[in-house]
Structure 1
Amino acid sequence: MRKAILTFLKSEDGPTAVEYAVMLAMIVIACLGAVQGMANATADSFDDSAAHLNSVLGS
């Protein structure tokens, strides 16, 4: 098993697969950060809207 892994990593396919995996992980992390940021901004916007409506309606 170890020999097969070493052979895979020494061939051209091994490093290429690792590079793609690292790039994919970086893209996923960036997307998660962006989605989290948008979620926080959206929640803040809804909270502000609710506060304004409550002040106007007197609830």
Structure 2
Amino acid sequence: MQAVINFLRGLFSKEEGQTLAEYALILVLIAIAVIAAVTLLGGQIEAVFNAITAALGIGG
């Protein structure tokens, strides 16, 4: 466990670690945006897929 902590400390103490942290932050922000979009548009997305499955005749 100590080796993992030392590795992470080493990453964040170097420039490469700062870049890694920035990429991780961007990834988290994108994930939050995707979750928010799916939450807000979930009903509309479901309606589109239901219409597609009905048109294809594979709905149950």
Shorter chain as denominator, the TM-score bin is: 0.5 to 0.7
Q: 1:21 aligns with which of 24, 27, 45?
A: 24
Aligned-residue CA RMSD in angstroms?
Answer: 2.1
Aligned residues: 43
Which of 6, 13, 16 lines up with 1:10 in the alignment? 13
The runs of at least 4 aligned residues of structure 1 exceeding 4 Å deviation read: none
With a CA cutoff of 8 Å and minimum separation of 6, indicate the structure with the bigger relative contact order.
2
Instruction: Give the 3 Å change call, closer, same or farther, for CA 39–15 of structure 1 in structure 2.
Output: same
Instruction: Give distance in 2, aligned partners of 1:3 and 1:38.
Output: 42
Identity of aligned residues (%): 28
- Matches of 2:33 and 2:8, distance apart in 1: 30
Which residue identity does 1:24 align to in structure 2?
L
Unaligned residue ranges in structure 1 (runs of 5+)? 46-59
Shift of the alpha carbon at 1:31? 0.8
In the alignment, structure 2 segments of 5+ residues that lack a partner are 48-60
After the TM superposition, which residues 1-59 of structure 1 pair with which residues of structure 2 at under 5 Å, given as runs?
A: 1=3, 2-40=5-43, 42=44
Specify the structure having the higher radius of gyration (Cα): 1
